[in-house]
Structure 1
């Protein structure tokens, strides 16, 4: 698309990203519009014909939405079913009933991680914060001792474990195997969430000792319901897509024969679209029916579940368009050539790029899709496991030091009743710990497998 040299392409990338950062931070423009304008600016700076740039952008947007749009929609529906049926409350109450004061931070990590599997980060926060505040209030616990583990569980799932939008987009962009990425993501997530959650919360509680703010304890969904779904049925519904996707990955490794009938069957049922669709259909009978939802309420629930993700879908799509513009401009090839000259490990390079974009834009999703576009050519010659680790390196980098340009920062600040300094000492440091620990574990795993 362009015959620009490395210097011009490098400047074009910096200027393109600078345009996006400036529009998001200074002019408060929506990330979708910022990414669209930034993509066009990148192509123009690289000296590419504008009609070709438009074709690249729209093509990338279309293929990204085609690849992950339905999955994001199904995940949103499942999350809404979980919230409105009282299923999430059922899991929380059952686990809390068995927890002791000593085990409470670990219990909060467990709850957040399980609930965080099918839910978007923001939805998970809205669901979990009332629980965190009530537990802290009733049990007279330090808010940070309970809150940090819950936030860590949600954040790790958001950055490292599909079917969250960031990992899904990176998997799609890099051509990685979803099942293998999911398995390795869970493997890395466990030690990461322990260090950033229960362990770090001890220090966070000392640095910031604040009570739970009464004004932020809203009514819970299940208080309006006569009945709630059972704990076992709810947990099984949440874990169903994960089990199906992991089973497909396992069969692919063990059988390793594309013509085998068993492998072909698992390739279908373990496909993320089928796995999530199955969970939604099962959820109608395990979550909604027990809660007394009739057919008329089902349609409304789906509609409400889909409404909030319109913005996310557009951002993810525009991120895909930006990625394709980067690739077609020759930036991907430039990164490939430079990485060979510099001898920087591809996984470390991916992590650093994601960190830089995260710090600049404040969005983990924007950081993930942009970094995935930049390092996509590096995945071409990688093994299945190393391509999956490249996805996880990007995901880890995308969580680095959330600060004032991140919506999540303000969400946590307001819900916990903190000031900016206290939010940095707790939430921002926790995010950095997640990023560094997960990034280090990715590099460690790459030496072993």
Structure 2
């Protein structure tokens, strides 16, 4: 049974990494090869499947993570990150730093991918941790939870947008309705989870090389205006492109240009160029010093990227092994509420495959025939599928490895922190979706 294969592979991976202390990159590749052989993928095809999985994952994330890490390190080494963190502390105070991180993450995360927003905000979180001497998860976990909620629940993120197209739902209404669920649920979990005893027992250190160790004096740091401008530049470019795409249609040069500069890699590349000048020659730092910052950031990211790529290889083996088709066939005859069915299939696929995008696309295809005669609002169905796709993030999810490596956690601690919060978010999201459908019916909308 394919799901048994998935379960055993996860257990083997945990043993390799926790008991035998095998490097995550090697452990993931080893388990991926074993699963491929068990699932009937020919030995001659497995190297290509691994390469395709690594290439697809790294292709999506390397530019974003690499450029984002360089921007963050340049800002950190110049004092710009400390300037922003200090201002946040002045405005909010140490007691409200979590609220500040949640609000920042939600505002940025509405239009930006989890990975992009994460690498932009995390240097600020690292600096706040260093300045306040707070637990890394106390500051960083609320940010991650808020970003996960925005990315998984709402368009214009790729999963919900793809499902909206399948269900012929309004992207604008889906976003509008979804905010009533995502904001309160995300904020509640983001502020609750760091306070749970099993999370507070974790005290990870900041990964080496991702943040400057120097504490700057006030006159050594660049101004708040420049610091915020550089930090927000990719947000403005990416969000502007997303809003333009929703509000305008057509085929002209201006729209193409906006889409070009608003793509995550280009936006971050432009931001890096601005950061190199603004926090280099403009304030008296040589280009050699700025280049050293970029180099150190790239070196620190090497193993993180390898592990994320291996996670993509594992995911691709599961997809090529036919597990998504098996789940689709097995659930085809279930007779339950289309909202719950759509959520459940997305959740099962998420557990089995790790890819939220594959989960939502497959689940929407299964649930689509049920939508026509059900009377359920298509926007509600989109939210149901999207909520299901966030559940049970674990070792076959490349995002899990990004979370683990950035917060310097063991595999078991990452499961305790991330797998639990994503699952509770999904369950609360389903509850919100069911209530939303009742409210819309009562209002005859």
TM-score by length of 1: 0.68
Aligned-partner Cα distance in 1 for 2:308–2:380: 24
Cα offsets for 1:104-127 (capped at 9, x unmatched) = 653465578799945389866543
Corresponding residue number in structure 1 for 2:47: 54
Corresponding residue number in structure 2 for 1:236: 229
Corresponding residue number in structure 1 for 2:127: 127
1:153 maps onto 2:142 in alignment: yes
Q: CA deviation at 1:21?
A: 2.5
Q: CA deviation at 1:304?
A: 0.5
Cα distance change of structure 1 residues 297 and 126 upon mapping to structure 2, 3 Å threshold: same
Of 340-349 and 237-246, more deviation after overlay is shown by 340-349
1:252 maps onto 2:245 in alignment: yes
Q: CA deviation at 1:40?
A: 1.0
1:159–1:396 Cα contact (<8 Å) kept: no
Corresponding residue number in structure 1 for 2:206: none
Corresponding residue number in structure 2 for 1:292: 284
2:78–2:222 Cα contact (<8 Å) kept: yes
Aligned-partner Cα distance in 1 for 2:348–2:215: 43
Corresponding residue number in structure 2 for 1:327: 319
What SS does the corresponding residue of 1:340 show, helix, strand or coil?
coil
Corresponding residue number in structure 2 for 1:264: 256
TM-score by length of 2: 0.68
What SS does the corresponding residue of 2:83 show, helix, strand or coil?
helix
1:440 maps onto 2:428 in alignment: yes
1:398 maps onto 2:393 in alignment: yes
Cα offsets for 1:285-321 (capped at 9, x unmatched) = 3333455321111221111011121112112212222
Of 66-75 and 119-128, more deviation after overlay is shown by 119-128
What SS does the corresponding residue of 2:284 show, helix, strand or coil?
coil
What SS does the corresponding residue of 2:285 show, helix, strand or coil?
coil
Aligned-partner Cα distance in 2 for 1:372–1:385: 18
2:69–2:119 Cα contact (<8 Å) kept: yes
What SS does the corresponding residue of 1:310 show, helix, strand or coil?
helix
Aligned-partner Cα distance in 2 for 1:231–1:208: 32
Aligned-partner Cα distance in 1 for 2:69–2:214: 17
What SS does the corresponding residue of 1:153 show, helix, strand or coil?
helix
| Count of residues in correspondence between the two structures | 389
1:377 maps onto 2:362 in alignment: yes
Cα offsets for 1:60-115 (capped at 9, x unmatched) = 21222122211111111112122211111101212322346875653465578799
Corresponding residue number in structure 2 for 1:345: 341
Q: CA deviation at 1:274?
A: 1.0
Corresponding residue number in structure 2 for 1:317: 309
Aligned-partner Cα distance in 1 for 2:82–2:107: 12
Aligned-partner Cα distance in 2 for 1:351–1:90: 41
Corresponding residue number in structure 2 for 1:97: 90
Aligned-partner Cα distance in 2 for 1:66–1:429: 27
1:34 maps onto 2:34 in alignment: no
Cα offsets for 1:351-408 (capped at 9, x unmatched) = 4665x68xxxxxxxxx855x656666346688999789866754464289xxxxx958
Runs (5+) with no aligned partner, structure 1? 1-6, 134-142, 210-217, 358-366, 401-405, 414-419
Aligned-partner Cα distance in 1 for 2:121–2:427: 20
Of 115-124 and 310-319, more deviation after overlay is shown by 115-124
